[in-house]
Structure 1
């Protein structure tokens, strides 16, 4: 081979490796979008409305919106009509060190009048409707080869069996609820187009192995004629995609500011490599070392104030304890045409987290922390640094 040609090949190789290395070290905020079902797994099907197609169309539209923003990388579990194992969907997000994992689906019910969105976070529940929803989605694993061995004998007809498996639900639960709440807040802005059903918990297998804040969105009921047609329409999909993208952007800006994203502690890909064997036998490590916690979670000395967002609504409520399960000192802010009701005012992050637990025990399951400095809303990351 001619020497100059060899030099060109080597030079090209070095450039490519440099680009790969740069991408690998990217500080960009990474979002993994998971379009549910695919190929022979159709999901829910009603009168020509097919869940796998609707979920993919919405996921691609969300991705297109996010890709128009700087400092955001989008990873897809699928971009075409293919079947991906549930555990592989999570692992795609883990290998990419994604900051959030968003799985997109459509709902269905024998009651054809059932409607509305639902956004789920990973967790155990005794609510029958939540378990039923998880059961339907988890049943997908039966289409996978050797699923009984792969999923440790997990029975999709009994999501409660997941209780015996190692879960990381607490590690990312607060942030997952925050993201889920933002999704439902964004759906609320669609008004009569789509009824928002709120944030819920259920043991979804696709969320189980993702080592980051993660949510599963049921965008509406394909079994409902009116809502199903909306989901199946170009305009409906555009509206839903924009709402989901807006929620992800809002989450990014709150926790990471307007720039890229800084990751503390172990990355999802590191956790993935350190847990290659059976879930039931391998303890899952925290995403933060004790030393990291000492650095990040500390008493605030820069004048930051933490408050708890209880709920968000288009309806304005009187700030009376009886309207907020007996809680006093509730305040309200009006953002994006939504009333957001806040509780408490604490300067210490640890105390704020403890107060958040108390608030959740009163029934505000989707409550989460927000931060202010000098009267201006700032990201949680900025507040606790």
Structure 2
């Protein structure tokens, strides 16, 4: 299955380039789709202690839900391979989590955490799912500060010298690299938050963007899930209960199953159809499906693109690459249909991009995603 094992040294020179037969470089030869589950914190890093009423902390709840999720995947989706950054109460470094994900042929990375509201009386509650991105929201920055603070507990902090969440400009290269996976990360994040609401009957605080180390340095679609606030007494009780953990685990599994069905992974005969209302972009916004990028200028003919028509090509001056797009629509649901067509043709890494007045913009901006 497709993986993205890219190093920082080649990141800016070759991203999703392909050979004459359109086979993407970096494509895994593995027959299994690999999901890495990352239970946040661990060992001497307890994560948030919550209200202090329980012996268990964030690291314990994250591990319980992670192991239960992995077990459910293996029982119900036996052709999906599950690996963990930790499967017991140990302390893997943030860098270690990212390194092992990139080395283990991972196709999807999901990091599981619990939230906290520092310095207040615990009025905030609900789930949040994050994808990589910058933010100026004060609350979001506090979340990033807390989840990245484990760096101070590590023996070797030199590896993090170039990582500065307070300076998004310093992370520009990482942001550019991750744009190839952002659409799929957002898609999974939305499935997760939808399932927390429908299956879990929980409050969702939405899909958000933030600078987390484990998202910035894992080169595959990746999300970080905050199950709820341990500083909120009722939510802390829920997440410490077996029932609460079971509900959140089932919600996460349902979201992952929808994501896999969307990709038509593992021989699913039923292709999941998103139940969304029509999302119509403004007249100067157009969605397209990026299917590949190459240093070669290929003719935009169907025989070069597995029979797909309506192919356009743009040259990216910054990255010195030709990018190839399938279709075009102002209706987001229509472009999702075209994305599925591209995926079914074999372009498993295809993703939706957006243009405004002919210039590429962030997909989340085009969709005008509203988060709390």
The one of 76, 83, 87 equivalent to 2:95 is 87
**How many Å apart are 1:365 and its aligned residue?**
3.5
Q: 1:190: how far off?
A: 3.5
2:61 to 54, 59, 68: 54
Structure 2 partner of 1:45: 49
The equivalent residue for 2:246 is 238
For residues 70 and 60 of structure 1, do their structure 2 counterparts lie closer, same or farther at Cα, with a shift above 3 Å needed?
A: same
Deviation at 1:38, TM superposition (A): 0.4
User: Residue 74 of structure 1 aligns with which residue?
Assistant: 82
1:214 lines up with 2:225 in the alignment: no
Deviation (angstroms), 1:363: 4.8
- Does structure 1 residue 109 correspond to structure 2 residue 117? yes
Q: Which has the higher helix share?
A: 1
Contact 2:200-2:251 within 8 A present in 1 as well: no
Q: 1:227 — aligned with what?
A: 235
Structure 2: state its 5+ residue gaps.
1-27, 269-291, 311-325, 343-349
> Are the equivalent residues in 2 in contact too, given 1:77–1:92 (CA < 8 A)?
yes
The alignment yields a C-alpha RMSD, in angstroms, of 3.5
Mark the runs of 5 or more structure 1 residues left unpaired by the alignment.
1-23, 261-286, 309-326, 331-341, 368-385
- Residues in 2 aligned to 1:306 and 1:189: alpha-carbon distance in whole angstroms: 33
Cα displacement (A) at 1:153: 4.8
2 CA distance for matches of 1:161 and 1:94? Answer: 24
Aligned match for 1:205, one of 205, 213, 235: 213
Alignment of 1:1-385 (within 5 A): 25-46=29-50, 47=52, 48=54, 49-68=56-75, 69-110=77-118, 111=120, 112-147=122-157, 149-155=158-164, 158=166, 160=168, 162-163=170-171, 166-167=174-175, 168-190=177-199, 192=201, 194-259=202-267, 289-290=294-295, 299-300=308-309, 342=333, 353-354=353-354, 360-365=364-369
Given the superposition, is the C-alpha separation of residues 113 and 307 from structure 1 closer, same or farther in structure 2, using an over 3 Å criterion? farther
Confirm or deny: 8 A CA contact 2:126 2:205 kept in the other structure.
Answer: yes
Task: Quote the Cα distance in structure 2 between the aligned partners of 1:150 and 1:351.
Answer: 31
3-state SS in 2 of match to 1:354:
strand
Write the distance in 2 (CA, Å) between the matches of 1:292 and 1:28: 32
Residues 117 and 346 (structure 1), Cα distance of their counterparts in 2 relative to 1, 3 Å cut: closer
Q: CA separation in 1, counterparts of 2:242 and 2:351? A: 47
Q: CA deviation at 1:351?
A: 11
Give how far 1:183 is off. 0.6
Q: CA deviation at 1:292?
A: 12
Give the TM-score normalised by structure 1: 0.65
Structure number with greater Rg is: 1
Q: Is the Cα contact below 8 Å between 2:353 and 2:363 reproduced in 1?
A: no
Contact kept? 2:61, 2:239, Cα under 8 Å: yes
Aligned residues: 283
Q: Deviations over 1:218-277 (max 9, x none)?
A: 0000110000111111111111011111111111111133429xxxxxxxxxxxxxxxxx
CA distance in structure 1 between the partners assigned to 2:101 and 2:124 by the alignment: 32
Query: Aligned in 2, Cα 1:135/1:259: closer, same or farther, shift over 3 Å?
Result: same
